[in-house]
Amino acid sequence: MAVQEHNVIDISSSNEDKPTVKDDELSNTRLSVKDLFAIKGFKTGAGLPNWLAKAEEEPKNAKAVDLLLEQGAVLTYKTQLDELAYSLAGNNSHYGVSVNPFDSKRTSGGSSSGSAVSVALGESDLSLATDTGGSIRVPASYCGLYGMRPTYGVISSEGLVPLAPVFDTPGLLAKQLTSLELGFRALLGYKKIEVLNSMAWCDALWDGVNSELKAYAEQIFNQFEGHKTRLDEPPINAEERRFCFSVLQADSIWYAHGDWLKENLSEFGVDIQQRLRWGKNLSLDDKERALALLEEWNSGKSNWLPNGCILLMPTVPDVAPLIEASGEDIDIQRQILLGLTSIAGLSGWPQLQIPAIKVGNAPIGLSLLGKEGTDLSLIHFAKNQLEQL
């Protein structure tokens, strides 16, 4: 298996055309950008050599890029990703597997693999990436970083190559929580923070999760001095969430890229090809079942997580998979993983991944999940509550 040696493409020269700085909150912050966002004067590759070869130079930056540059951030690199961002593995069939900076036997996770590695290695301070089914949260957990999928739709997708528009959202990864906060203040355009002092726990979300991480999380929950509550099982179970999300995601991908995919399926690795072909051949019954499950989820989600409450939950079930892990082992972990990551995706709610522990040399994180609009509140909670524990 080829090892991906180059997670980044130098674009530092593009700072010559950076927009006028309105403020300096991100002054000298080195910003890397996932190669789905338009960068003026560069082609966008989307993790696919064939896509890159046919692309034209971008006439302007993506909106989210300019919002960060306007606050003083400095462009450094474009970062590599899994093909079209349709994977959580951190393995691109053209560019190789992305190696975990903490354990060379393990993957970095994806699809924002280059973003996570570039921040973990100190090549950038902040990375603008995307999250559809976990593409920020998963590699952030595996690489010991902060990363957040924000409330769906609050950050502009202008200038972004989509994967599945019904779930895609720009977001950020950082090594320091302060950098992440400043980045999101720039992207969100507001500074309002609702102080949240209630923490929730849901036993059903810990099935199949690493026992050391669960014990650590239980300690945090038990020591928390604010209001605590234990939640019932989510409105639909893990298998139903995975199915619902996967079907709706696949349907959205084919709606967005159907003509191109029909001509270019061979450009993808075997695992992604398999998912794409599955999505192309979805039955009407599958789609109707997914929509019915989504309706059931939407009708119950608000009562499941109380207003003003933050859910402490696992980001991923375990540390990053071994590069040489069997396909069966990876598939089992992926099924559990999608049962977790789909909660924020189906809800449109923000989820903040925070570094937690290491198992051996491998990091694994925890997440804070809140209702829509609590993006900055989650960061504030992590800064003022969790750091005291």
Domains 8-188 and 198-388 share a fold: yes
H-only helix segments in 268-374: 270-280, 284-304, 327-347
Counting beta carbons within 10 angstroms of the beta carbon of residue 231, is it exposed (0 to 12), middle (13 to 18) or buried (19 or more)?
Answer: middle
pTM: 0.94
Amino acid at 372: E
Rounded to 5 degrees, what angle do the CA atoms 190, 193, 199 make?
145
Q: Which two tokens stand for residue 153?
A: 């739709």
Q: What local confidence, expressed as pLDDT, does residue 21 receive? A: 55
- Report the relative pairing of strands 227-230 and 198-201 from DSSP bridges: parallel
Percentage above 90 pLDDT, the chain: 86
Give residue-wise pLDDT tens across range 312-341. 999 999 999 999 986 777 778 889 999 999
Half-sphere exposure of 162 (CA within 13 A, CB side): 18
Half-sphere exposure of 36 (CA within 13 A, CB side): 31
Q: What local confidence, expressed as pLDDT, does residue 13 receive? A: 58
Give residue-wise pLDDT tens across range 142-157. 999 999 999 999 999 9
- Distance, CA of 139 to CA of 173 (rounded, Å): 9
Q: What local confidence, expressed as pLDDT, does residue 18 receive? A: 57
What pLDDT band is residue 1 in, cutting at 50, 70 and 90? very low
Spatial contact of 40 and 14, defined as CB atoms under 8 Å apart: yes
Q: At residue 92, does pLDDT exceed 60?
A: yes
Spatial contact of 378 and 350, defined as CB atoms under 8 Å apart: yes
Q: Is 8-188 a domain of CATH 3.40.50.20?
A: no
Average pLDDT, integer, range 180-198: 89
Domain ranges of the chain: 8-188, 198-388
CATH topology of domain 198-388: Amidase signature (AS) enzymes (3.90.1300)
The SS3 assignment for 216 reads helix
Average pLDDT, integer, range 286-303: 97
What pLDDT band is residue 2 in, cutting at 50, 70 and 90? low
